[in-house]
Structure 1
Amino acid sequence: GEGRCMSIQAMQSLYELRENNQLCDAVIKLDDGSIFPVHRAILSACSLYFRAAFTTLLHDTEKKDVSITGVTTDMMKILLSYAYLRQIKVTDENVYQLLVTADYLCIIGVVDLCCAYLIARLSPTNCIGIMQFARKHYCKKLEQEAEKYLMRYFVQVANLSYELLLLSLEEIKVIIAADELNVKSEEIVWEAVLRWVNYDPENRKKHIVVLMKAIRLGLLDTQFFLEHVKDHPYVTSCEESRPMIIETLKFLYDLEMITHRDGEVTTPEIARPRVPHEILFAIGGWSGGSPTNYIETYDTRADRWVKVDEIDPTGPRAYHGTAVVNFSIYIVGGFDGMDYFNSCRCFDAVKKTWKEVAPMNARRCYVSVTVLNDIIYAMGGYDGHHRQNTAEKYNYLTNQWSLIAPMNMQRSDASACTLNGKIYITGGFNGQECMHSAEVYDSESNQWTMISPMRSRRSGVSCIAYHGQVFVIGGFNGITRMCSGEKYNPATNSWSQIPDMYNPRSNFAIEVIDDMIFAIGGFNGVTTIYHVECYDEKTNEWYEATDMNIYRSALSACVITGLPNVYDYIHKHREKLMEEKRQKMIAIENQR
């Protein structure tokens, strides 16, 4: 600590020497006549430009003059302050000029600070401009981050960005053709194209065919294609669009008649799904009368489950919890048919490696797990003897568990989630009965408070934060497995009903992905299931999604966003999706 203070003092002294023109051994001259006496060694230490200037110019005199063109007095003052004091105030007003000047003078430290500043301020309205600026000035990392942002938040960019309207044909085509474009529906891409053309219709409507080739027309809803694309004036007035319209109509018709086709059906380019930005992992559980360590991921764009080979080498577990921090999945507690676990495992989804992390203070099977501010919370559960009211939290930075205040109730087989900076836990079993009580935890005051009870008793329940409310779904009420659900509004401290699922289930996994709630697997009262369904609040309806590869209950699911190696976890053969669908439908028909 003291050494560091000394160095700040020393830097301050050198800066004062410069300001008083003492012991300076060079002079910087600018276009506007400004002169800055400097110390060669200080500037050479932070700038390759000055190091080259001072070490390769052969002068006999002690003083060395360096004339710099195109740099303002204000910029030079800021950069000298950085060179001497390592202090700099980057603002919205100066960041671009500062970056360009620092790049010109090879002051890498300032370039990095400016890039970090712009990355932190990326938004739907500025990301295209920042990407173009970075490309022009060869700031590779900034360009990559801006492009990644544009891809991930394209829905907002398409609606809000004025910069989008100023793009050239080639630039917008590259963006909308990208596999990484994060759109749940191609309708968004079509609307973005129209918005771009409408900005200058006379000069741009002739480009509609080029842009249509970049849209996955085969993924559009048939009704939407017929009503909004096929008969749009820009399309009907353009003769070259006819082959594309015919190809799309043929594909959409074939889709309806897929089982009647002979031979293998390929998936054309117009129907190749894009790449998802979120990956759902379903981990472990109970399958075929025993625990499993099976892992599969769900590719929302292809609507397919993909087996993951890198399973936990230490063996299976069920009735556990999962939590995501950065790109790591933590598997907390659980049961393997013999042992009730306090142990925790960690899977690094980028490196695909497993490791043991610190164990909890208590054994917890049927545990409830959630994450708040990168801290993992584990609550309640069963240790083989008692249903617990204790709870604890894990800090991955220190690899340490510490106890928090106990809950008001003993809860095993409950479910927890995080909403608006608070932790909610719902239902569960206390050893005597299935519960309808629920409580909320405030991490700042370390206090649990009871909230209004649910409308139904629910053990083996799942709850999740969604659209500002806590959604509680399914579970066992002591008599039967339920398909009902309810949602809690924190503002009114009240519960209201939501539509029923198609399948009753308890001990299933739940997650939000693509702005929908997914209910995955579970037990229906008779058998373990692999059915998956999703709820969309916009339509207030449940939809069936593709089944998992294996039947399982007591599993846990989590979502990782923005994985750099996302291609490792998605459906590999996107050109075979249609054929897979055909084979599946033929199999179903043959079963009838």
Structure 2
Amino acid sequence: METKSETPRKTRQAVDPSYDTVICAGDVSFDVHRIIMCNCSPYFQALLCRHAGDKTCFTIPDVSAEAMEVIIDFAYSGSVSVTEDNVQELLIAADSLDILDIVEACNNFLEENLTPENCIGVRRLSISSPQVQHKAHFLLMNKFEEVVYSEEFLELSLQELTDILDSDELNVNEEKIVYEAVVRWIDHAPEQRNTHLPALLPKARLALCSKDDIKSLMSDPYLRKNTQCVKILKYALRLKHQLTNATPPMRFYSDLAARPRLPDAIIFAIGGWNTNNVTNIAEVYDVRADRWLDITDHQEKPRGYHGTVFHSGFIYCIGGFDGEPCNSVRKFDVKRQVWLEAAPMNYRRCYVSVALLDGYIYALGGRDKTHRLKTAERYRPETNQWSLIEPMHDIRSDAGCEAFNNKIYICGGFDGHIYHQSCEFYSLDFDQWTCISNMSTGRSGLRLVLYDNQIFALGGYDGNSYLRSVETYDPETDEWHKLPPMLTTRSHFGTAVINNKLFVMGGFNGIQTTTSVAYYDTKTNKWTRAGQMGTARSALSCCAVSNNSSLKQYTTSRDTLPQLEQV
């Protein structure tokens, strides 16, 4: 007797005579209603209506039974269950069957669930939306040090790996990480990949490494036996020597071996006081190229002695002096490079102290036209409204302010008579201010900065002298500790933390406004000079913007950097 193999059949109910069509996918048949499937997508409408006669069984090529079951459930229920296991197959099937709602659901799922472990695969998925692909690419480039430890990284082709390592957008703290990534990739299949080492090694921009790092690579077992790799390392060492011994010393060239990658964070320095006038000058600092770029909008009103914070794509400039003490708030759209108006504060506040915490922007103290203030208020961007909070214990104008551990800390300042040593913090939970230990000296025009889980109080004026001293506050012990002083005295200067370094910019040094910039690194416990601003300013305000896909427009073109001389 001859046996027939029958295709398994799934039906929506055990018996339903109204079913008029069978759809086959993989090795499974599904009983469906023609009209329901026609309403699901233009693909089914064209397929089923074209064969509206006796034909009742339709085979859908290249779609699995599992994906088809989800699609049919969607046709009947209007909802779709997208999971990590089915998203890729479902997206491909929905795209081929022109089911736009499922395509959108899959893309939303991919976007919401992007991680360093899956971003390479999502980036490869050519039918995902441009927005998803862009976000996957951005994550790959900015979280590369995590991506390296994913399984997907090990499966990259040579061309894919080369394209990634060649990119200026690749974000690594140290170039030796690129070499370590190459080794990990080769180790996954050494017999097939060992020969690629001399081609991949130059993708690490070795002249940007320290001399010690380059020398240590020369003793690396992978490299020391390969004559081509040794030549590459010796060339990098000569190039490093040339950069160090240039007059003045240089950090990079436009050529690949010493070409800085694009930064993942930018410092914005806005407004200030330039010699005798308030200014609208705005500059951005590209930390990896050590260059400042002027982005001034000359239609924007000048402003100094104000505060800035970055939140949800906008830089908020709050209060300050624009010809007189003001309560106005302007916000800069980082992506579109345009200025917009926001709701004004309840009080005019020049010499204002500003901080961001839990989605709220806080404006504390300052001075109106006639009085120094101890009032405080906060702004909610979602409602564009300011509301008053409990006033501080002390009148504080020109104080330092920072958020840490769900508290707003404010230190120093001037009340018209006293240059305060006193400090206090605001608790969101209790809407109250609490006094803490005094700083070692009174400070007005200081800056308070959160760095390396400590609160830094820097510079300022004590009533007699302009300061370069630095002290840090430990909230756990309620104690202040001295640190190495800044390279120069500064008051009314800008600060920002990027690349694990604390930057100070501009200000007044007791004689004049300055363009000087320096940074402190807790690893070395030292201050180091950095590239100067284009315009000398005090009373400016600075903030850092990081992990933002719009930052490339604020960077120095790598092709305009100095060209390499023969080495």
TM over 0.5: yes
For the residue of structure 1 that corresponds to 2:561, the secondary structure is: helix
Structure 1 equivalent of residue 456 of structure 2: 471
Please show how residues 348-359 of structure 1 align to structure 2 within 5 Å.
Answer: 348-359=333-344
Residue pair 1:205, 1:234 contacting (<8 A) in 2 also: no
1:172 is aligned, of 132, 141, 161, to 161
2:136 alignment partner AA: A
CA drift at 1:573: 5.3
Structure 2 equivalent of residue 59 of structure 1: 52
CA drift at 1:282: 0.5
The worse-fitting range, judged by mean Cα deviation, of 357-366 and 75-84 is: 75-84
Structure 2 equivalent of residue 189 of structure 1: 178
CA drift at 1:381: 1.1
Inter-CA distance 49–468: structure 2 relative to 1 (3 Å threshold): farther
Structure 1 distance, partners of 2:475, 2:422, is 15
Please show how residues 86-101 of structure 1 align to structure 2 within 5 Å.
Answer: 86-101=78-93
Output the aligned Cα RMSD. 3.0
Structure 1 equivalent of residue 232 of structure 2: 244
1:475 alignment partner AA: G
Structure 1 distance, partners of 2:79, 2:438, is 55
Residue pair 1:489, 1:495 contacting (<8 A) in 2 also: yes
For the residue of structure 1 that corresponds to 2:324, the secondary structure is: coil
CA drift at 1:557: 0.6
Q: Identity percentage over the alignment?
A: 39
Structure 1 distance, partners of 2:20, 2:407, is 60
**Residue 489 of structure 2 is aligned to residue 497 of structure 1:** no
Runs of at least 5 residues in structure 2 that lack an aligned partner in the other structure: 1-11
2:197 is aligned, of 208, 220, 230, to 208
CA drift at 1:199: 3.6
Inter-CA distance 209–280: structure 2 relative to 1 (3 Å threshold): same
Structure 1 distance, partners of 2:492, 2:17, is 76
2:308 is aligned, of 303, 306, 322, to 322
**Residue 243 of structure 2 is aligned to residue 255 of structure 1:** yes
Structure 2 distance, partners of 1:163, 1:84, is 36
List per-residue Cα deviations over 1:388-415 (Å, max 9, x = no partner).
Answer: 2222222333332222332333221112
List per-residue Cα deviations over 1:121-144 (Å, max 9, x = no partner).
Answer: 333333333333x24x55543332
**Residue 133 of structure 2 is aligned to residue 143 of structure 1:** yes
Inter-CA distance 39–468: structure 2 relative to 1 (3 Å threshold): farther
For the residue of structure 1 that corresponds to 2:303, the secondary structure is: coil
Structure 2 distance, partners of 1:381, 1:207, is 62
Structure 2 equivalent of residue 586 of structure 1: none
2:107 is aligned, of 74, 94, 115, to 115
2:113 alignment partner AA: R
Please show how residues 109-508 of structure 1 align to structure 2 within 5 Å.
Answer: 109-132=101-124, 134-135=125-126, 137-158=127-148, 160-228=149-217, 230-241=218-229, 243-259=231-247, 267-311=254-298, 313-336=299-322, 338-508=323-493
2:32 alignment partner AA: P
Structure 1 distance, partners of 2:382, 2:488, is 41
CA drift at 1:243: 5.0
1:387 alignment partner AA: R
Please show how residues 34-73 of structure 1 align to structure 2 within 5 Å.
Answer: 34-38=29-33, 40=35, 42-55=36-49, 57-60=50-53, 65-68=57-60, 71=63
For the residue of structure 2 that corresponds to 1:213, the secondary structure is: helix
1:334 alignment partner AA: G
2:106 alignment partner AA: C
Structure 2 distance, partners of 1:484, 1:510, is 15
Structure 2 equivalent of residue 5 of structure 1: none
Residue pair 2:410, 2:424 contacting (<8 A) in 1 also: yes
Structure 2 distance, partners of 1:237, 1:289, is 64
List per-residue Cα deviations over 1:160-215 (Å, max 9, x = no partner).
Answer: 33432332322222111111011232122122223323344444332121112222
Structure 2 distance, partners of 1:67, 1:574, is 56
**Matched residue pairs, number?**
552
Structure 2 distance, partners of 1:525, 1:81, is 74
Residue pair 2:107, 2:128 contacting (<8 A) in 1 also: no
2:554 alignment partner AA: Y
List per-residue Cα deviations over 1:107-159 (Å, max 9, x = no partner).
Answer: 22223323332333333333333333x24x5554333211210111122333x
List per-residue Cα deviations over 1:369-389 (Å, max 9, x = no partner).
Answer: 122344322221111222222
Inter-CA distance 224–176: structure 2 relative to 1 (3 Å threshold): same
Inter-CA distance 170–87: structure 2 relative to 1 (3 Å threshold): same
Structure 2 distance, partners of 1:367, 1:112, is 46
CA drift at 1:32: 4.3
- Please state which structure has a larger fraction of its residues in helix: 1
1:464 alignment partner AA: V
What TM-score do the two structures reach when normalised by structure 2?
0.88
CA drift at 1:276: 1.1
Inter-CA distance 472–113: structure 2 relative to 1 (3 Å threshold): farther
Structure 2 equivalent of residue 13 of structure 1: none
Structure 2 distance, partners of 1:28, 1:268, is 59
Residue pair 2:398, 2:445 contacting (<8 A) in 1 also: yes
Structure 2 distance, partners of 1:407, 1:26, is 75
1:35 alignment partner AA: F
CA drift at 1:85: 4.2
List per-residue Cα deviations over 1:1-29 (Å, max 9, x = no partner).
Answer: xxxxxxxxxxxxxxxx9999597665544
Structure 2 distance, partners of 1:477, 1:243, is 57
For the residue of structure 2 that corresponds to 1:501, the secondary structure is: coil
Structure 2 equivalent of residue 3 of structure 1: none
1:141 alignment partner AA: Q
CA drift at 1:572: 2.7
For the residue of structure 1 that corresponds to 2:216, the secondary structure is: helix
Inter-CA distance 74–244: structure 2 relative to 1 (3 Å threshold): closer
Structure 2 equivalent of residue 9 of structure 1: none
Structure 1 distance, partners of 2:227, 2:460, is 58
Structure 2 equivalent of residue 12 of structure 1: none
For the residue of structure 1 that corresponds to 2:106, the secondary structure is: helix
CA drift at 1:84: 4.4
